[in-house]
Amino acid sequence: MPPVRSFSSTIIIHVANQDTPHKDRTVVGTGPHTATARHSLRKPTLQEFREQLIQEMANRSVPLSLQDFLNTFLPVPHNQKPRRATATLVKKFSVLKDVKTKDWKEDDIAKTFVKVVNDAKLTPGLKLALSQYNYDANDASKQKVDAAFFPQATTPTDGKPHWAEQLVSVEFKKGETKNDPFEDNEKKAMDPDASSRKEVRSQIMSYAQKVFERQPRTHLFMLFVIGQNFRVLRWDRSGVVVTPLIDYVLHPDLLYEFLWRIGRASMAQLGLDPTAKLIKPGSDEYKKMDELAKKVATDLVAECSKVVANGDENNMFAYVREKFNESLEEDWPRWKLSVPQEDGSMRYFLVGKPTFTTSSLVGRATQGYVAMDPLAKEPKKQLVWLKDAWRAFYDLVEAEGVVLQQLKNASVQGIPTLVCHGDLPGQATVTPDIWEKNQKALEEEQKRAAEKKLKRTTRKKQKQKRVARTTAVSAPAVAPSAASAGAAVPASAASGTKRRRDEIDDEQALLPPPHGVEGSQADDADDKCPLRRHRHYRIVVEEVGLPLEQFENGFHLVSVIHDCIGAHKHAAQAGILHRDISGGNILIYPQVVEDLRSPDRRIVKLRGLLTDWELSKDIKVKGRPRHARQPERIGTWQYMSIALINEPTKAVEISDELEAFFHVLLYYAVRYLKSNCADVSAYMELYFEAYWTYGGRYRCGSLKTSTITNGELRTSEATSGVIRFNTPIDHILRTILGWLKAYYDIHADEYIRVEEDDNPPDENIDFDYEPSECYNVFYDESLVSDDEIDAPELPAPKVHSEKTFKDARKICLHDHILALLFWCMNKDARAKLPPGLRWQKTDKVPDGYPDSSRRRFGVAPSGTLGTHNDNDNDDDSNKRLKSNSGAAVPVQHPPQTPPRKRHHSSIGIVDSGFAIGSRPAVGSCPP
């Protein structure tokens, strides 16, 4: 195997979040459905978060004229006409004339603007309130938008943003180009690169995200005032629609019409979700929530092997009630959320503050709640888990609820139990539709320009022919010279064939999205939109789990992962591949089971639960493309296999999933167990979060790569020290690492090599066997040796030994890793444990990588959008091209965009993140 090149000097550290780690737009995930869900990775600072938003939103800004904007999103009420601005109003706005030359301060602009709007009552039913000085008491980020429109009857007077109540956000800036976050010049990128303009753009993005976080919304309008000009923005989970910069002093009618329309718009038109009803304090539902949150003496304790009294097995676990109580914050609104059922009817659940929420502005935007089910009778079913998300809406991407039903029909255990789920009617992102309309208009304009040019060329050709005939009559007959022959019209023009792209004028050039931008190489020629399409979706499951980090000790950690690998195996046998194995999707769920040592009593067992199946794939269907189906890497960056990171178009296979389980085990072991790792924070960053760019492509971090390819868990590339836990976990990690090393020894050229050019292969590297062949072996605890487990042959150059091939095959099947974990947990001789390695009940330690830890390295952008590395000699790593939407985007190479669904799914077909049932697995808790 060729040596692995080290890139320690060019490492970039990225802080990913659970929803779309390295979400950016590279990697995607869904977020845990756990009672104590939180980011397992360090939370970014506000500045880091805004940098992530900049990258996440790159190439997602879509221009639209103000009149088209108003007609599309804020149509005039029936039988009404917009009022025109009066001379008095024009005079009032003229006070703000030449604010740039008069050097007005932002506060002065804001106060004057707000006074004019309110005094003239330009927004009937709404009122504009300033909030540039104070922040909400419950807002840890301490952000302060300059102003916002509120219902007139409830407009706040304390000068705070009140993120949970504002209807339309307003931000003011001084009238200078450096403060304009967008660009109207069609020859330039719509998202300018100037640092000051990016800073303003990230600021308003964070304000929009804050509103989405605090309110159940489908979209958000924002008024951006810069000096005596304004823009109107509309945010949804696909991107933002932006109007051109307009001078409201010279054209007050345009601003007045926007204000008049929002004043007459319904709450749904302004973006409030009609399927979420506010629960008012003092109402019966409000009181029922308070009552259910109170402590109950008979609640069960989630402690392994805890004895449960007869008759109490259906009681609620105390931690679930505690988390529900924590969600009922006094200053946080409560909501009654509708969730579709299979028959098309709606079922209602009561929620408070989300237990889990993603920080993304676009994408799935998952929020998780411990929710009250008013219809439940059994105590343990009164509180459930509700997930609210905007699922990707593409062909070949099944709704999660459909997947869960398939798994239930196949009797797969170790997955959540579905209650109800469905797409919310009429709630889908529309920014991609605006992009398509713009694209169509641009293509028609180009077509007309091409036709005009062809006509001019044809007339020129005819004129040349007339001149040639006249010359032939008056001149002696001679053979035409080479020069005159070469002056003929090109064949393409003469024959009327389509123009080449290089014949289009620069100002009309329409370049396709570069590789690495959503929409490149679309599967469906009719859907080339680079913006992802989303539909609003909710799902409810019975289980409210505990995060993986709350495992009791190293033995318990291994047993939980063992349970989830077992669930993964049986799902694969049923033809479903999970495709997002991560720490956030492996939960601990307490169950009351029969005590095998004493059948007459029942005890608590803390099982593993594999959740969030919305990215899963049906691998039984023949003829499906082998490349990825969504325009993003599939998985969670910290746990993704090297093969998937380095080849994003590669289809996810069992070997990738089992490698992800290995990374999960290593991640939680290093972070929460006793070891000889002296600097846990540095190791976590270098191994799990680092990456580097080459040829405009993201590559796996060098420490993670060297660990797998060298087969040793070194604390860093610069030292020879090996991480040790002095428990059987050492043997487990070392054994699996040996299998991974063998696998990558064989596949080094595909996944480990350093690219010599910027053009990756169009097709992913495929094995010479069908994945379905891997699922015909069932795990049997009576296995005598690994040799008895049949495995498919891998492509094998003769340079590798038979042992290398044997070990490489072991990472392609569940049975080997399941047997290893089971044998090690039970100290079976077949595990071949080295002498002296014993399980310890007290080997868990405080978090070695807490949120408060200081980051050792610079924070990288969170998106797939490449950041130039000063130490990288590759000039292409930061090239920027002009995309179809006019935005600047970097050169990357992700998967193709799947085709858009032609028809909306029925209400009963939805996606979730959970599944059904949960059977006790052997060895899931220490004796």
What pLDDT score was predicted for residue 889? 27
What pLDDT score was predicted for residue 399? 83
pLDDT greater than 90 at residue 761: no
* pLDDT single digits (tens) 357-404: 888 899 999 999 999 999 998 999 999 999 999 998 876 678 888 899
What pLDDT score was predicted for residue 81? 76
Give the 3-state secondary structure of 783-806. Answer: CCCHHHCCCCCCCCCCCCCHHHHH
pLDDT greater than 70 at residue 514: no
Place of tokens 């105390």: 318
The answer to whether 303 and 603 are in contact (CB under 8 A) is: no
How many angstroms separate the Cα of 643 from the Cα of each of 248, 565, 749? Answer: 54, 20, 11
The answer to whether 34 and 356 are in contact (CB under 8 A) is: yes
Mean pLDDT computed over 76-84: 76
Mean pLDDT computed over 17-39: 38
What pLDDT score was predicted for residue 840? 95
From edge to edge, which strands make up the β-sheet containing 602-610? 307-308, 602-610, 586-594, 546-547
Pick the range with the lowest mean pLDDT from 491-495, 597-601, 798-802. Answer: 491-495
Structure-token pair, residue 413: 């255990």
What pLDDT score was predicted for residue 854? 66
pLDDT greater than 60 at residue 882: no
Structure-token pair, residue 183: 């660009």
CA 600 from centre of chain: 48
pLDDT greater than 60 at residue 149: yes
CA–CA distance, 626 with 638 (Å, rounded to integer): 24
Residue bearing the bigger pLDDT, 774 or 288: 288
What pLDDT score was predicted for residue 530? 84
What pLDDT score was predicted for residue 422? 94
Residues 493, 499, 502, 505, Cα dihedral to 10°: 90
Report the amino acid identity of residue 322. E
pLDDT greater than 60 at residue 767: no
pLDDT greater than 50 at residue 666: yes
CA–CA distance, 376 with 34 (Å, rounded to integer): 20
Mean pLDDT computed over 130-146: 92
CA–CA distance, 423 with 65 (Å, rounded to integer): 31
Report the amino acid identity of residue 412. V
Give the SS3 label for residue 113. helix
pLDDT greater than 70 at residue 774: no
pTM to 2 decimals? 0.77
Report the amino acid identity of residue 925. C
What pLDDT score was predicted for residue 140? 87
Mean pLDDT computed over 783-793: 44
Nearest to 396 by CA among 574, 240, 579: 579
What one-character DSSP code corresponds to residue 508? G
How many angstroms separate the Cα of 27 from the Cα of each of 270, 321, 637, 640? Answer: 31, 33, 6, 9
Mean pLDDT computed over 233-247: 97
Mean pLDDT computed over 243-259: 93
Sequence-separated (6 or more) residues with CB below 8 Å from residue 461 = 488, 489, 493, 494
Q: Are strands 356-357 and 334-340 parallel, antiparallel or unpaired?
A: unpaired
What pLDDT score was predicted for residue 6? 34
How many angstroms separate the Cα of 335 from the Cα of each of 215, 216, 274? Answer: 10, 9, 11
Average pLDDT of the chain is 78
Residue bearing the bigger pLDDT, 22 or 621: 621
pLDDT greater than 60 at residue 287: yes
What pLDDT score was predicted for residue 394? 73
The answer to whether 553 and 598 are in contact (CB under 8 A) is: no
Crossing angle (nearest 10°) for helices 66-73 and 252-264: 10
Nearest to 394 by CA among 523, 515, 513, 521: 523
Please, which pLDDT band fits residue 527 given cuts at 50, 70 and 90?
low
Structure-token pair, residue 815: 């049975």
What pLDDT score was predicted for residue 888? 28
Task: Give the number of other Cβ atoms within 10 Å of residue 896's Cβ.
Answer: 21
Residue bearing the bigger pLDDT, 576 or 858: 576
Percent of the chain with pLDDT over 70: 74
Please, which pLDDT band fits residue 475 given cuts at 50, 70 and 90?
low
CA–CA distance, 155 with 145 (Å, rounded to integer): 15
Burial class (CB in 10 A: 0-12, 13-18, 19+), 157: exposed
What pLDDT score was predicted for residue 572? 95
Instruction: Please give the helix or strand (H or E) that residue 448 lies within, else none.
Output: helix 431-474
What pLDDT score was predicted for residue 633? 57
What pLDDT score was predicted for residue 451? 86
What pLDDT score was predicted for residue 504? 30
Phi-psi region of 847 (alpha: psi -120 to 50; beta: other; left: phi over 0): beta
CA–CA distance, 487 with 470 (Å, rounded to integer): 17
* pLDDT single digits (tens) 419-461: 999 999 999 999 999 999 999 988 888 888 888 888 888 888 8
Sequence-separated (6 or more) residues with CB below 8 Å from residue 619 = 572, 575, 576, 577, 771, 772
Please, which pLDDT band fits residue 794 given cuts at 50, 70 and 90?
low
Please, which pLDDT band fits residue 23 given cuts at 50, 70 and 90?
very low
Place of tokens 């720490």: 583
Pick the range with the lowest mean pLDDT from 83-92, 141-150, 183-192, 265-274. Answer: 83-92
pLDDT greater than 70 at residue 846: yes
pLDDT greater than 70 at residue 273: yes
First-residue to last-residue Cα distance in the chain: 44
Top mean pLDDT of 517-521, 622-626, 735-739, 763-767 is at 735-739
Residue bearing the bigger pLDDT, 879 or 744: 744
What one-character DSSP code corresponds to residue 870? T
pLDDT greater than 60 at residue 312: yes
Pick the range with the lowest mean pLDDT from 241-245, 253-257, 644-648. Answer: 644-648
Pick the range with the lowest mean pLDDT from 42-46, 499-503, 534-538, 569-573. Answer: 499-503
Mean pLDDT computed over 486-496: 34
Pick the range with the lowest mean pLDDT from 186-190, 486-490, 853-857. Answer: 486-490
Total residues belonging to the chain: 927
Please, which pLDDT band fits residue 793 given cuts at 50, 70 and 90?
low
What pLDDT score was predicted for residue 492? 34
* pLDDT single digits (tens) 795-817: 555 578 888 999 999 999 999 99
What pLDDT score was predicted for residue 501? 31
The residues pairing with 882 across neighbouring beta strands, listed in sequence order, are 888
What pLDDT score was predicted for residue 720? 76
Residue 900's φ and ψ, nearest 5 degrees, are -70, 145
